[in-house]
Structure 1
Amino acid sequence: MTSVTVLGLGPMGHALATAFTAAGHPTTVWNRTPEKGDDLNAIVADTATEAITASPLVVVCVLNHQVARSLLDTDALKGRTLVNFTGGSPRQARAMATWAAEHDIGYIDGVIMATPAAIGGPEAALFYSGSGDAYETHRPALAALGENANYLGEDPGRAAAFDASLQDLFWTAMSGVVHTFALAAAENIGPSDIAGHAKAMLGFFSDMIDQVARQVAAGHFPGDDSTITSAAAAMDHILGTIRANDLDNGVLSAARAEMQRAIDAGYGSEGVGRLAAL
């Protein structure tokens, strides 16, 4: 069993350490407030450097990359593998990988698409990118965090890019969900009256995602089912209702402006998938 170090015991870091210990990996942890490790079956180190030197595999999960860099002793990490679960951008991940290579540190950037409670189970989706050799070496230990692991390639920024793209979908959709209830309430429609219909509408999104993916891959955007021009007209009707109820229209107005740019560029008769390729 590979020895593992976990730096950072916030809710996610604590869940990571718990999963490693549950799988039988000797685990050393460090946190600025050491009592957060008292309930773990792990060694609580006095310093981050002490924790790093305890294991060939070092996992860091803290607030941001700046905090992570401040904790990481390059001399102690030399020759070890660092798995960085600290959230950040693809550019930050690539910069961290460059820094690691300069100090002879194996680097894997990691993204967790799950809640802390899901860590260690089949629901936890994990994305990894960076050193393929380092990933293969430590894949058995990382398997303790969840069965749904995806290694995305040598580009260390690729996992963060997947995260940013998927989170873009999630938060844009969530904005639409909460705005649906706000607009419905303004028109005296109760949440329980519209929730089921909203779920039914979202049900066909899976097929739409596949359709747009095929069109983007082929570079061909037929408007057989719906065109950008017709979608823009529908948006105008919706925006009129939103404005009449004095609700915020920023998100839909931005989407409508994107449609207009496509129409002005001569793509009005094509399908909305064209917007992904402008």
Structure 2
Amino acid sequence: MTFHQQEGNGMKHSKATFIGLGQMGAALVPPFIDAGLQVTVWNRSAAKAAPLVALGAKAAADFITAVSACDLIIVCLADYATSNALFHRDEITPLLKGKTIVQLTTGDGREAEFGALWAAEAGVNYLDGAIMDYPTKVGDPECLLLVSGDRAVWDSCEAQIKLLGGRMTYVGSKPSSANLLDGSLLTMYYGNTFALMQSAAMLEAEQVDLKDFKTALNAFKPVIESTWKRTIEAIDQQDYSGNEASIHVHSLGVQSLLKRAKNSGVEHSLLQLFSEYVDQTAARGHEADELPAAFEVLRRKG
């Protein structure tokens, strides 16, 4: 592949095109403008470009103009199907040869791998990424982005992509890595958030001040983080033995929580699910093992 030489502002790409100006897509643009890059934007609904034009971006009249304007193209659309419908056209693909596409659209690992395969066949430099924060955090030093794909492509535009978040992380050459990690982290995000809301509902039902819950939760964080670390290590080593708390002990604990939730009159199906997982783990012969043994219930069936 051929990459661009260093340009005057210390970046290999001094211009960038942004495709997709939804809430997240629009949030990606200002950091590039603030850094002094020439920015072109395009959205199917052209009106969404107006606030960014006011900041200094140039609105492309059409999609062909947009992708022709710059050699670095950052994509953030509703889904991969929408992106593919735009880029995988006979009249568009030849215009992209030698350019770099950074795909930040939400999807799955298979879609990312397909995107990389298409790009390779079309002579396009390709990275796939995931923004692990809210639009208001884009450009913040604490904003996390995951990017994967060819290392040489990453090296060619690292400085530009890092404008989007201070905690930018390159996670390897496998195109789907960022997407797969995104899915795993979001699973953690939703699981933890729903568990927190379940806890809050139980406390509210018993008229416990949620400020006290916040204080207790902050104090409990080291236990949670330590449990996460031990769980990952146990799964990685396929060793669920230990002397802290067996599946039997956890079963009693979850049953107690389920009883409390039922007595409080709150929704308790989440705790019911936890109870079923623990019981299934014990039924598979892991009653004396520790909680990470429940991974055997959750892993691929068959």
TM range (shorter): over 0.9
Alignment correspondent of 2:242: 223
Letter aligned with residue 45 of structure 1: A
Letter aligned with residue 161 of structure 2: L
Alignment correspondent of 2:204: 185
- Counterpart check, 1:274 vs 2:274: no
Task: Give how far 1:85 is off.
Answer: 0.6
The 8 Å contact of residues 101 and 126 in structure 2, kept in 1 or not, is answered as yes
The 8 Å contact of residues 6 and 13 in structure 1, kept in 2 or not, is answered as yes
Letter aligned with residue 86 of structure 2: L
- Counterpart check, 1:151 vs 2:170: yes
Alignment correspondent of 2:229: 210
The 8 Å contact of residues 113 and 125 in structure 1, kept in 2 or not, is answered as yes
- Aligned pair partner of 1:20 in 29, 32, 35: 32
Distance 1:189 1:165 in 2: 33
Q: Render the CA deviation track for 1:62-94: whole Å, top value 9, x for unaligned.
A: 111111112223222222111111111112211
- Counterpart check, 1:33 vs 2:48: no
Q: Secondary structure of the equivalent of 1:204?
A: helix
Aligned length, in residue pairs: 278
Q: Render the CA deviation track for 1:152-178: whole Å, top value 9, x for unaligned.
A: 112111101111111111111110111
Q: Secondary structure of the equivalent of 1:156?
A: coil
Letter aligned with residue 22 of structure 2: G
Counterparts of residues 26-65 of structure 1 (less than 5 Å): 26-37=38-49, 38-65=53-80
Q: Secondary structure of the equivalent of 1:5?
A: strand
- Aligned pair partner of 1:70 in 71, 79, 85: 85
Alignment correspondent of 1:242: 261
The 8 Å contact of residues 114 and 123 in structure 1, kept in 2 or not, is answered as no
Task: Give how far 1:193 is off.
Answer: 4.0
TM-score relative to the length of structure 2: 0.86
Q: Render the CA deviation track for 1:16-72: whole Å, top value 9, x for unaligned.
A: 111111112211111123233332312110112211111111101111111111222
Task: Give how far 1:128 is off.
Answer: 0.5
Letter aligned with residue 87 of structure 1: T
Q: Secondary structure of the equivalent of 1:128?
A: strand
Distance 1:102 1:250 in 2: 48
Alignment correspondent of 2:283: 264
Q: Secondary structure of the equivalent of 2:148?
A: strand
Structure 2: give runs of 5+ residues left out of the alignment.
1-10, 298-302
Q: Render the CA deviation track for 1:97-128: whole Å, top value 9, x for unaligned.
A: 22222322221111111222222231111100
- Counterpart check, 1:94 vs 2:113: yes
Counterparts of residues 155-170 of structure 1 (less than 5 Å): 155-170=174-189
The 8 Å contact of residues 40 and 59 in structure 2, kept in 1 or not, is answered as yes
- Worse-matched range after superposition: 188-197 or 217-226: 188-197
TM-score relative to the length of structure 1: 0.93
Cα 1:197/1:147, change in 2 over 3 Å: closer
Structure 1: give runs of 5+ residues left out of the alignment.
none
Q: Secondary structure of the equivalent of 1:123?
A: coil
- Aligned pair partner of 1:103 in 99, 109, 122: 122
Letter aligned with residue 262 of structure 1: T
Distance 2:160 2:282 in 1: 52
RMSD: 1.8
The 8 Å contact of residues 281 and 296 in structure 2, kept in 1 or not, is answered as no
Distance 2:124 2:106 in 1: 19
Distance 1:252 1:241 in 2: 10
Letter aligned with residue 51 of structure 1: A
Distance 2:141 2:238 in 1: 35
Alignment correspondent of 2:215: 196
Letter aligned with residue 93 of structure 1: A
Distance 2:109 2:265 in 1: 38
